[in-house]
Amino acid sequence: MILVEVSLSTWCDKYGLTVEQEPCVKCGKLLVADVPVALSGYRGLKSQSHDCGKEYDHFVLVPIKEEETEWRKIK
Ligand SMILES: [Zn+2]
């Protein structure tokens, strides 16, 4: 997974993503998924890392088509 340097609104418009807020199941801190991320086959948003560790981050992910080539353009 990589962080993508793109504006949040551009990313959301492109992939139909919505910023989500959800409390951490461990510490109760409100996690806001507003960091654009990309991983193989998916594009989405994640919350900022916090003290509980990355397994508690909140993710919003959408699958993309395999033939999507945007990956290279972003890099
Ligand atoms: Zn937490």
What integer best gives the mean pLDDT of the chain?
Answer: 90
Q: Are strands 59-63 and 20-23 parallel, antiparallel or unpaired?
A: unpaired
Q: Residue 65: its pLDDT value, please? A: 78
What's the CA gap between 5 and 7, in Å, rounded? 7
**CA 52–ligand 1 middle distance (angstroms):** 4
Q: Residue 44: its pLDDT value, please? A: 97
Q: What is the pLDDT of residues 18-66, one digit of tens each?
A: 999 999 999 999 999 999 999 989 999 999 999 999 999 999 999 987 6
Name the amino acid, one letter, at 64: I
Q: Please report the beta strands in the chain, taking only residues with DSSP state E, as ranges in sequence order.
A: 2-3, 20-23, 30-39, 42-47, 59-63
Contacts of 9 (CB under 8 A, 6+ apart): none
Residue 14 pLDDT > 70, yes or no?
yes
**CA 30–ligand 1 middle distance (angstroms):** 8
**CA 46–ligand 1 middle distance (angstroms):** 14
For the whole model, what pTM was predicted?
0.81
Using CA atoms, how far residue 29 sits from 23, 26, 51, in Å, is: 5, 8, 10
Q: Residue 73: its pLDDT value, please? A: 59
